[in-house]
Amino acid sequence: MKRLGPFVLERRLAPPRHVVFGVSLLAVVVALLLAALVFWAYGVSPVRAYSEIGRGTLGTVGGLSDIVRRAIPLILCGVGLTLSFRAQFWNIGAEGQLLAGAVAATGVALFVRVPDGFRLPLMFLAGFSAGAVWALIPALLRVKLRVNEVISTLMMNYIMAYIVEWLVHGPWKGPTMRGFAYTDMFPVAARLPYLTGTRIHWPTLVVGVAAAILVALLLARTRLGYEIRVVGQSPDAARYAGINFTTVLALALVVSGGLAALAGVGEVAGVHWRLRSPGHVSMGYGYTAIIVAWLARGSPLAAIFTALLFGLIFAAGDLMKTTLGLPFQITGVFNGLILFSLISSDLLMYWRVRLASKEKAWTGQAGS
């Protein structure tokens, strides 16, 4: 506890939800104010900038659909990551897991003989399995060989990206692509349907929302969920409670990686209809999802909303380039500012400011 003039700063362990929400909102506002300076420096009136962005994203059907479309992979990756993070496993590898799903789905779409009706379900199944395996490796490396998961998952993103690169330049290069590095187009039976009038591939959206609900239930209501939480909060306690650390972590990562991979299936089956260079398959969704999950404070349901927030930020970035005619780098600066602001606000949540009353001020020494 610290005293600042007439105020007292108090530390709290678990900030209530409204504080988390309020402080995060405040952080976004601060970031927007900072970004306003950047707009102003580029000769664009911040008022005009924000009204254009608001109108272009939230004010039109097309704008809204763009937000949702970008949010789909973010929801799936983000929900998966909340599960890893709950188990205190810093999975930075959603990008690679997403690509693994895209690869598996492409394989099924183009090279597996299967009745049309089963093709899409099989693509989702194969995608999930590929992502699960890709996430299981770092989990086992950590449990068995104490390999730092931040590093292993990050490195595995690159490895998977080069695998995709190799596939599209080598064995999977499409004969109909005139020598360019793409696979052939998926057959119609391997493409996801759109919500009428938009380019929202709704089956993936449904899967994403369902996944969020199921993971929330898993965490709150099942024995596995309980074990994941215990493992995350205190590995020692988990050991005393007789929880098998390896199994729990492995299961958590299978789900986490599998969900990220479903996002990859959605991207190739719903957006691209082919496999292409990794940088174009995913616009860094796996990395953005880290922030989505982190902002959601480990809540899968909240991740839906933080994913939508980042869908909005992506869409706003588009508008800065098109409507406002700003250089594309401005989106990097803008996103960086928002992130900086959000993480700096983290500390605020754990402190409560109030007017110091005399007694409290003298007896409060027992705190921190």
Partner 1 sequence: MDWTSWLVGTVSRALAFGVPLLWGTLGEIYAERSGIVNLGVEGMMILGAYAGFAVAQTYGHPGWGLLAAAAVGMVAALWHAFLTVTLRANQYVSGLALTLFGLGLAGLLGRGWEGRPLRAPLGSLAVPVLGDLPVLGPMLFRDQTVLTYLGIVAALVLWIVLFRTRWGIVVRSVGESPATADAVGIHVGLVRYLCVAVGGLLAGVGGGYLSVAYRPSWTEGMTAGMGWIVIALTIFASWNPLRAIWGAFFFGALYHLSFRLQAYVSPELLKMMPYAFAILVLAVSGFGGARRRGGAPGALGLPYVRGER
Partner 2 sequence: MNVRKLMLLALAVTVVGSLGLGAQAIKAGFIYVGPIGDYGWTHAHDVARRIVDEKYDWLSTVYVESVPEGEVETYIDQLVRQGCNVIFTTSFGFIDGTYAAAQRYPNVIFAHASGFKRAPNMATYMADFYQVYYLNGLMAGALTKTGKIGYVAAFPIPELKRHISAFTIGVREVNPTAEVHVRWIYEWYNPAAAKEATEALIAEGCDVFAFTEDSPTVIQVAAERGFTSFAHYSPMYVFAPDYVVSGQLVHWEVIYDDFLVKVHNGTYTTKNLAHVDYWWLMAQNAASMGAEMGMPVNPKYVAPLKAFTVNHPQFGRISVYDLVFLRYNQFADPGITFDPFEGPIYDRKGNLVVPKGMWMSYDHLITMEWAARGVVGPWPGEP
**Residues within the interface to partner 2 (CB under 8 A):** 56, 60-62, 66, 69, 165, 169-170, 173, 178-182, 185, 196-199, 267, 271-273, 276-277, 279-281, 283, 318-319, 321-323, 325, 327-329
Q: Which is nearer to partner 2, 121 or 327 (CB)?
A: 327
Q: Which is nearer to partner 2, 84 or 282 (CB)?
A: 282
Tell me how far, at minimum, the Cβ of 157 lies from partner 1, in Å.
8
85 belongs to the binding site for partner 1 (CB under 8 A): no
Query: Which of 162, 187, 280, 361 touches partner 1 by CB under 8 A?
Result: 162
Question: With CB under 8 A as the contact rule, which of the stretches 116-124, 187-195, 215-223, 287-295 interacts with partner 1?
Answer: 287-295
Positions 168 through 187 that interact with partner 1 (CB under 8 A): 169-170
309 belongs to the binding site for partner 1 (CB under 8 A): no
When CB distances are held under 5 to 8 angstroms depending on the partner's kind, the choice from partner 1, partner 2, none that residue 332 binds is partner 1
When CB distances are held under 5 to 8 angstroms depending on the partner's kind, the choice from partner 2, partner 1, none that residue 290 binds is partner 1
331 belongs to the binding site for partner 1 (CB under 8 A): yes
Neighbours of 335 (CB within 10 A): 20
Residues 122-151: x/- map of binding to partner 1 (CB under 8 A)? -------------------x--xxxxx-xx
When CB distances are held under 5 to 8 angstroms depending on the partner's kind, the choice from partner 1, partner 2, none that residue 325 binds is partner 2
Angle between helices 223-233 and 61-86 (to 10 degrees): 70
Residues 288-307: x/- map of binding to partner 1 (CB under 8 A)? --xx--x-------------
246 belongs to the binding site for partner 1 (CB under 8 A): no
Alpha helices in the chain (DSSP H): 17-41, 46-58, 61-86, 94-111, 116-145, 149-169, 202-221, 223-233, 235-240, 245-267, 278-281, 285-295, 300-322, 329-349, 358-363
Residue 43 three-state SS: coil
Site size with partner 1, rule: CB under 8 A? 45
Euclidean distance between CA atoms 273 and 241, whole angstroms: 48
Q: How far is CA 112 from CA 31, 177, 191, in A?
A: 48, 20, 15
Angle between helices 223-233 and 245-267 (to 10 degrees): 100
Q: Which is nearer to partner 2, 73 or 257 (CB)?
A: 73
**Beta strand 7-11 with 2-4: parallel, antiparallel or unpaired?**
antiparallel
Euclidean distance between CA atoms 269 and 115, whole angstroms: 17
Tell me how far, at minimum, the Cβ of 281 lies from partner 1, in Å.
15
Residue 346, CA atoms < 13 Å, CB-side half-sphere: 11
Tell me how far, at minimum, the Cβ of 114 lies from partner 2, in Å.
24
Tell me how far, at minimum, the Cβ of 22 lies from partner 1, in Å.
18
Q: Which is nearer to partner 1, 26 or 114 (CB)?
A: 26
Residue 355's H or E segment, with its range, is strand 351-355
40 belongs to the binding site for partner 1 (CB under 8 A): no
Euclidean distance between CA atoms 256 and 343, whole angstroms: 23
Answer positive or negative: Cα dihedral of 295, 297, 303, 305: negative
Using a 10 angstrom Cβ sphere, with 0-12 exposed, 13-18 middle and 19 or more buried, the burial of residue 125 is: middle
When CB distances are held under 5 to 8 angstroms depending on the partner's kind, the choice from partner 2, partner 1, none that residue 302 binds is none
Neighbours of 177 (CB within 10 A): 15
Query: Which of 6, 40, 327, 361 touches partner 1 by CB under 8 A?
Result: 327
Beta-bridge mates of residue 58: none
Tell me how far, at minimum, the Cβ of 41 lies from partner 2, in Å.
18
Residue 271, CA atoms < 13 Å, CB-side half-sphere: 22
Using a 10 angstrom Cβ sphere, with 0-12 exposed, 13-18 middle and 19 or more buried, the burial of residue 43 is: exposed
Residues that bind partner 1 (CB under 8 A): 90, 92, 141, 144-148, 150-152, 154-156, 158-159, 162-163, 165-166, 169-170, 287, 290-291, 294, 327-337, 339-340, 342-344, 346-347, 368
